[in-house]
Structure 1
């Protein structure tokens, strides 16, 4: 019979039990552990060590954040919670398509061009309905070791599903419409539109406006970008000399919004420029100079809580910290940027786009949790490969404590039952609140035999060698169940249908965040389609426009806030 997941008298008692102490209700004549387990020192001959708190992982400044909370008190957390704006995730009229893969995350990132409030001074006064300047689908793999960021050009033509706005009214869209217009009636409509287009089930959304971009770039101390030549874009007002620059405030916003400065001066080229910026931002966010200073983390947390509107499921500082922790743990070189392959739209070939060759394969790769990172396709070393030669330990003599790190009731009990079926009869469930991004098998390095046992347990559950974690003070093997552990099938990755990644990425303009941040290539084409206020620049190249803008006294973007 599977032991219930229950508390043994509070968190402290549960943690003490997890360290190998006697637990009421477990096997053994006197209520302790069965003979042969580590709980009986005389039987094992192993000296117990003093229990220690399990070390918490620190990523994306969570450690510094904890220091700040301790210093500033709960009032600050409540203040940040109050800053966060949130709405329903999906307001579309149709149920979401796509399978839900346990542990995987699909987050819709939306850049709004709303001109309300302070945004009017940044983007120019405009009383029209908001549009989605940026649509990026962020996929985090089930094992939280890889991420894909796929941009959808704002000019993409599709049938947007009808949806319900915050005023309670349901709105319908024309048969042909640009995906940017999905934001007219709220982010829930954009989530519905992207799900309809891609078939990828979306778990959350995060939306940022012009002011939010300015504040976030300021909070990290600016983002370093590079231009291959002098450029001036009269549309976004980006003005940069050739070379490397640190952009803050409105300068960062101008770089992200520029449609004329780089590449072929198209919407697809703009997505690639945005990927260059985000790659540089990731490097800055992961740098010690950003996260080592608690003041930086305070400013970043304060700015983020005000900058983003999120779905109801992310509406809280603790939820955002958990997400930041997950994203921060992903190696930079395991993050791949891509743009949806496109073709000219037969309905409006001069201005609009439709999904092109390879787009469905790209959508399927994301929906099926297949990474685009080349190194991720290599087989990961399994704990079984290192344990196979030493699997001589009788499973019944290995004491295993199973802890639930998923937040989903019953997961630890299911894993414990799996272990029992494989001979680990001296295993038990311990109820201790915690959360992990991926499953871990913890052991002490004070005795070489502990590692052999941990390797054997990991192998029995189909977990990779990367799940093995040294934790001083343990007297048992700990299995911390994460979202990537599928009972009855190990990590379960092999059951996913295969997608031809080469075909999916052939036209997707992929970039790896781990690579050296590249220079954006200045556009060689004459400027066109400019507003009447910028008529003087019509027909000039961006380099010629830079020279004219300099004569007109317009400052470079790295000199403005």
Structure 2
């Protein structure tokens, strides 16, 4: 199995344009809202800020373990954990499986923003990765015992605080902020923009995702979009890597729709989108406001697109269960060490590298693939 799969910013021009639109579009949306507040829209600003749920319980749990959490090594660098939750609560979400009263992280991305915002590196963490999950506070008030289990179990056991602590123990990186997005929030955002068009090279019939689509250009509403980004068994090679690539392409298409539809500069269209987007988020208290989000996005907009890249943590089949993953120890540690030191991560199609100490020269290169362009004839 390929140890690292990434979408290098040195890849296709389409990938670079999508990333540029994503960063500029997010910054523009926040800028428009901020100008509206200055012009007398404080009530609207406050209402949208109030939509964002501040996870105070997780903040208290993380504070309890502050002394054992990693220390940031480079001033100005930031690590944000983005967690896609597969909770089945909400209208229509039970169709994706039985609601056991817990939630597991369906998609998790560690976003590293370099000091001075010169680079951004997004590292996907597979849900089936075998990791050490620390003892965490359960929702019933009891504490779990530490265990070696699948990564997405951390969220089921102890929510976002447990997921953050698991990632910190895995990477020895300090997580500065985190944001959780649930099924219903994702669907509402897609519906708020009137659906998103994708290009399908072949028909899709995925019973697990409750999804049937023809080949060619198809406009997906929120329900079908969720099935599309979550489908795995019937699309591509059936891997989580292929699914994560598809999620990134869909995000680019969503940004295209927002910009082409004139949403960002049209208050009548922008407001429903912002309501959906802010209602979808649960974040750490510091990030739980439009001001907090804007400060984050403002730094992103100045990063050169050739310095924005995506990859999956180095992993291989778990030695005791091929349906699970385990880290490729040397190469994973090399990646984490580069991020801790805020050094550039090199991603390329033919990346090799020995996985040795990242302080040596040249630094290890991580093998990846360029983002593929969709084509509909």
Alignment of 1:60-459 (within 5 A): 60-70=28-38, 73-87=41-55, 88-89=58-59, 91=61, 93=65, 95-97=68-70, 99-118=72-91, 120-121=93-94, 123-165=96-138, 168-174=141-147, 176-184=148-156, 185-284=158-257, 289-349=262-322, 351-356=323-328, 358-372=331-345
Distance 1:250 1:204, change over 3 A: same
Contact 1:89 1:205 (8 Å CA) reproduced:
no
More strand, by proportion? 2
Distance 1:333 1:225, change over 3 A: farther
| TM-aligned CA deviation for residue 284 of structure 1 | 4.9
Contact 2:110 2:122 (8 Å CA) reproduced:
yes
Q: Deviations 1:494-552 (Å, cap 9, x if unpaired)? A: xx94685553x22xx3556xxx74469xxxxxxxxxxxxxxxxxxxxxxxxxxxxxxxx
Task: Find the counterpart in structure 1 of residue 351 from structure 2.
Answer: none
**RCO higher in 1 or 2 (8 Å CA, sep ≥ 6)?**
2
Contact 2:346 2:364 (8 Å CA) reproduced:
no
| TM-aligned CA deviation for residue 193 of structure 1 | 0.7
Q: Deviations 1:179-232 (Å, cap 9, x if unpaired)? A: 011101210110111111122211111001100111122334433433221121
Contact 1:336 1:511 (8 Å CA) reproduced:
no
| TM-aligned CA deviation for residue 89 of structure 1 | 4.4
Q: Find the aligned partners of 2:196 and 2:341 in 1 and give their Cα distance.
A: 33
Contact 2:334 2:364 (8 Å CA) reproduced:
no
Structure 1 residue matching 2:54: 3-state secondary structure: strand
TM-score by length of 1: 0.54
Structure 2 residue matching 1:205: 3-state secondary structure: strand
| TM-aligned CA deviation for residue 78 of structure 1 | 2.1
Contact 1:105 1:140 (8 Å CA) reproduced:
yes
| TM-aligned CA deviation for residue 353 of structure 1 | 0.6
Distance 1:144 1:156, change over 3 A: same
Name structure 1 gaps, 5 residues minimum.
1-57, 376-495, 521-561
Structure 2 residue matching 1:158: 3-state secondary structure: strand
| TM-aligned CA deviation for residue 306 of structure 1 | 0.5
TM-score by length of 2: 0.78
| TM-aligned CA deviation for residue 130 of structure 1 | 0.8
Structure 2 residue matching 1:91: 3-state secondary structure: helix
Q: Find the aligned partners of 1:158 and 1:373 in 2 and give their Cα distance.
A: 25
Alignment of 1:461-472 (within 5 A): none
Considering only CA atoms, is the larger Rg found in Structure 1 or Structure 2?
1
| TM-aligned CA deviation for residue 252 of structure 1 | 1.3
Distance 1:193 1:95, change over 3 A: same
Structure 1 residue matching 2:81: 3-state secondary structure: strand
Distance 1:281 1:111, change over 3 A: same
Q: Find the aligned partners of 2:296 and 2:256 in 1 and give their Cα distance.
A: 18
CA RMSD of aligned residues (A): 3.0
**Structure 1, 293-302 or 246-255: larger mean CA deviation:** 293-302
Q: Find the aligned partners of 2:361 and 2:53 in 1 and give their Cα distance.
A: 37
Q: Find the aligned partners of 2:235 and 2:151 in 1 and give their Cα distance.
A: 23
Task: Find the counterpart in structure 2 of residue 390 from structure 1.
Answer: none
Contact 1:67 1:294 (8 Å CA) reproduced:
no
Name structure 2 gaps, 5 residues minimum.
1-25, 349-357
